[in-house]
């Protein structure tokens, strides 16, 4: 059985007219114990009744309206002061025959000082605009009518200041969300919790989690500052299979952190186990990092890869210079890891000039009988070893001492661009 509709009392109607605009239908419905739909229907009826019923203005209200208009106040401000609607104030303004004093150059409204007035044709009519200078130092152009009505009070800085003040009161926590440390903290959490990123299988996917109290950035920041954090350092786990927690984390340089990865190649030689980078920096290593990496990839013995030096076709041990039974032609010509470097591009260009008839510069090199020695032509690694041991730098280019000779170790050097230009045919 449906409950009969309760009639509206005068107190409810007055309550609705006072609070509906500011608080909303839902809030009014909760306070009055009615449905939102009933509130909306009643508001429609009240508006119709108010439209047909003339609102009576007191003499005091009319005097206040007249005085405020003379002082340049806008209808919106007056309506708010009198607790009336803007339309009601505007209507009474017309009935009383009041006229607003027009703003002139030199007048200041809130933060805006009028510097210039000009007319502009817009929307099929001429409109008066004002060029204003704001207290913040910025110039802005606004409609004089908007300025006079009080709708515009600044160039926009006032609204921004209020928004910042409001947000700072509501959401302020630590104020470090733009710092590098905050980014590291966020990256740590994301790697352990976000399944949609590519790094997740290497961290959260392997069961790695972060310290529960580090959920709060302030706690993490205190630990970082008391354990040697600096802008040039990275967060590293001492045990790569352990969690992010105080007793398993430290701050170290990026280069040192790269040596603590699971993907590192550990090589055992001479009774010691080190990473590939550490062996390349060892005094017993007679080659570069990239050559050592290449030798290990193609299956060299670790001691031989570390201690040997390349000379032509054959590999010699540095101690006695006796040939080993390792012919360089047996080594694959790929996997040296330097295809993106400048020296590799120099090697490619050298071979093209001498070997490819369709190449634009072939006629000046291969067309004149200039060739590349067999070792350099067959593989990049011997060329790279020769370059590193003969003064190669990023700013130098390969130059033939005899411009009519071939590309071979005895006829090549590394020279500057100026030296190379002076040595041309």
Q: Report pLDDT digits (tens) over 9-59.
A: 888 888 887 777 767 778 888 888 888 888 888 877 776 443 334 457 778
| pLDDT value of position 386 | 92
Domain assignment present for residue 171? The answer is: no
Averaged pLDDT score across all residues of the chain? 81
What would you report as the CA-atom Rg of the chain, rounded to the nearest whole angstrom? 41
**Does the pLDDT of residue 8 top 80, yes or no?**
yes
325 pLDDT tier (thresholds 50, 70, 90): very low
Do 284 and 410 belong together in one domain?
Answer: yes
Domain count within the chain: 4
Domain assignment present for residue 354? The answer is: yes
**Does the pLDDT of residue 390 top 70, yes or no?**
yes
Domain assignment present for residue 213? The answer is: yes
Domain assignment present for residue 417? The answer is: yes
Domain assignment present for residue 388? The answer is: yes
Do 231 and 114 belong together in one domain?
Answer: no
Domain assignment present for residue 87? The answer is: yes
Mean pLDDT of 295-306: 84
Do 374 and 334 belong together in one domain?
Answer: yes
| pLDDT value of position 246 | 92
| pLDDT value of position 310 | 56
Domain C-terminal end among 207, 227, 258 = 258
Do 275 and 254 belong together in one domain?
Answer: no
**Does the pLDDT of residue 423 top 70, yes or no?**
yes
Do 330 and 284 belong together in one domain?
Answer: yes
Do 208 and 117 belong together in one domain?
Answer: no
Domain C-terminal end among 42, 69, 95 = 95
Domain C-terminal end among 95, 129, 145 = 95
Domain assignment present for residue 311? The answer is: yes
Do 250 and 349 belong together in one domain?
Answer: no
Do 320 and 202 belong together in one domain?
Answer: no
| pLDDT value of position 421 | 77
Domain assignment present for residue 170? The answer is: no
Q: Name the pTM for this structure.
A: 0.35
CB-CB contact of 66 with 58 (8 Å): no
| pLDDT value of position 52 | 38
Q: Report pLDDT digits (tens) over 63-83.
A: 888 888 777 777 777 888 888
Mean pLDDT of 108-126: 86
| pLDDT value of position 369 | 92
Do 305 and 330 belong together in one domain?
Answer: yes
**Does the pLDDT of residue 372 top 90, yes or no?**
yes
**Does the pLDDT of residue 167 top 80, yes or no?**
no
Do 46 and 146 belong together in one domain?
Answer: no
Do 279 and 414 belong together in one domain?
Answer: yes
Higher per-residue confidence, 351 vs 326: 351
Do 284 and 413 belong together in one domain?
Answer: yes
Its domain, for residue 34, covers 10-95
């Amino acid at each position: 059985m449906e409950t009969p509709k309760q009639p509206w009392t005068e107190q409810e109607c007055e309550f609705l007219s006072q609070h509906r605009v500011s608080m909303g239908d839902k809030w009014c419905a909760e306070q009055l114990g009615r449905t939102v739909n009933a509130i909306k229907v009643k508001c429609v009826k009240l508006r119709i009744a108010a439209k047909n019923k003339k609102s009576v203005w007191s003499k005091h209200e009319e005097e206040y309206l007249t005085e405020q208009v003379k002082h340049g106040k806008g209808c919106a401000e007056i309506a708010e002061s009198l607790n009336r609607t803007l339309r009601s104030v505007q209507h009474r303004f017309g009935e009383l025959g009041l006229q607003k004093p027009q703003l002139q150059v030199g007048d200041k409204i809130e933060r805006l000082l009028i510097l210039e007035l000009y007319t502009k044709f817009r929307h099929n009519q001429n409109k008066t605009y004002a060029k204003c200078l704001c207290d913040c130092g910025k110039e802005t152009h606004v409609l004089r009518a908007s300025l006079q009505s009080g709708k515009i009070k600044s160039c926009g800085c006032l609204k921004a200041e209020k928004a910042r003040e409001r947000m700072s009161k509501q959401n302020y926590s630590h104020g470090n969300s733009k710092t590098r440390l905050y980014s590291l903290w966020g990256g740590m959490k994301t790697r352990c919790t976000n399944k949609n990123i590519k790094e997740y299988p290497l961290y959260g996917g392997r069961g790695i989690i972060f310290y529960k109290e580090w959920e709060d950035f302030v706690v993490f920041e205190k630990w970082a500052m008391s354990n040697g954090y600096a802008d040039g350092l990275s967060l590293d786990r001492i045990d790569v299979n352990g969690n992010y927690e105080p007793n398993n984390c430290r701050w170290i340089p990026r280069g040192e952190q790269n040596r603590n990865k699971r993907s590192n190649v550990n090589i055992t030689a001479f009774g010691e186990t080190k990473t590939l980078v550490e062996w390349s920096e060892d005094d017993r290593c007679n080659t570069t990092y990239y050559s050592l990496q290449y030798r290990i990839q193609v299956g060299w013995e670790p001691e031989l890869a570390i201690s040997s030096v390349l000379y032509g076709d054959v590999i010699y041990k540095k101690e006695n210079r006796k040939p080993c039974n390792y012919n360089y032609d047996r080594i694959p010509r790929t996997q040296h890891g330097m295809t993106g470097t400048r020296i590799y591009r120099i090697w490619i260009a050298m071979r093209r000039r001498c070997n490819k008839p369709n190449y634009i510069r072939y006629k000046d090199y291969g067309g004149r009988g200039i060739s590349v020695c067999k070792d350099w032509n067959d593989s990049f690694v011997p060329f790279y070893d020769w370059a590193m041991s003969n003064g190669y730098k990023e700013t130098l280019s390969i130059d033939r001492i005899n411009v009519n000779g071939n590309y071979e170790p005895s006829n090549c050097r590394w020279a500057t661009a100026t030296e190379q230009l002076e040595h041309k045919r």
